[in-house]
């Protein structure tokens, strides 16, 4: 019908990323105001404000069960949050540049992050422990993702290439080259 059900207001700056949870009951928004907010889609109300970053949030993603969300920030960190309580569970520290993207794998055991520091990092989603750094790009990593089995990681870079890695061995198994300019998204 095209009818607008709710307008969510509460951020003090631009919203730059958003995502539905897998159940489509919550909407998460990330903002230049350094916060993320969780919104109840059925009631049209704010459920929680996720405070903890010191700079803009430009990436966020729910896990496949919808009980965790990650936020990536220009403060060089990724935060792991409990959706039910809004509590900060882990802060993933290791990147030397702004976070460009972050995603859980399908079984919610791993997190992959991309950064303007030209690297992609792999993390244990339960403990927040750093597992590996994948550093094959010569310019910023603009996007990262897992395949649906969670066994491969793809990266997109400002260097005009994409890479595919084996998540288990951390080895680059494909270099996708041929674009004349940056590759901004990968899926």
Q: What was the pLDDT predicted at 5?
A: 84
Quick check: 29 and 8 in contact, CB under 8 A? yes
Q: Is the pLDDT reported for residue 12 higher than 90?
A: yes
What is the mean pLDDT of the segment spanning 3-17? 93
Angstrom distance (rounded) from CA 72 to CA 80: 9
Quick check: 74 and 97 in contact, CB under 8 A? no
Query: Both 34 and 85 in a single domain?
Result: yes
Domain enclosing residue 127, as ranges: 109-186
Percent share of the chain, pLDDT over 70: 100
What is the mean pLDDT of the segment spanning 24-37? 98
Residue 39 belongs to domain with CATH number: 2.40.10.480
What is the mean pLDDT of the segment spanning 99-126? 97
Q: Is the pLDDT reported for residue 64 higher than 90?
A: yes
Angstrom distance (rounded) from CA 16 to CA 42: 22
Quick check: 79 and 70 in contact, CB under 8 A? yes
Domain for residue 3, yes or no?
A: no
The structure tokens 């927040």 sit at 128
Angstrom distance (rounded) from CA 56 to CA 65: 26
């Amino acid at each position: 019908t095209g009818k607008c059900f709710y307008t969510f207001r509460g951020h003090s700056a631009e919203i730059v990323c958003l995502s539905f949870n897998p159940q489509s009951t919550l909407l998460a928004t990330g903002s230049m105001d350094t916060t993320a907010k969780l919104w109840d889609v059925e009631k049209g109300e704010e459920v929680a404000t996720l405070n903890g970053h010191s700079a803009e949030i430009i990436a966020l993603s729910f896990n496949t069960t919808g009980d965790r969300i990650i936020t990536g920030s220009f403060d060089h960190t990724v935060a792991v949050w409990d959706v039910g309580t809004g509590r900060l569970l882990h802060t993933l520290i290791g990147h030397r540049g702004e976070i460009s993207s972050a995603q859980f794998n399908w079984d919610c055991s791993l997190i992959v992050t991309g950064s303007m520091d030209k690297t992609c990092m792999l993390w244990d989603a339960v403990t927040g422990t750093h597992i590996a750094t994948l550093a094959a790009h010569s310019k910023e990593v603009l996007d990262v993702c897992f395949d649906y089995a969670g066994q491969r990681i793809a990266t997109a870079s400002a260097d005009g290439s994409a890479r595919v890695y084996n998540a288990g061995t951390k080895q680059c198994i494909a270099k996708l080259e041929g674009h004349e300019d940056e590759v901004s998204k990968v899926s």
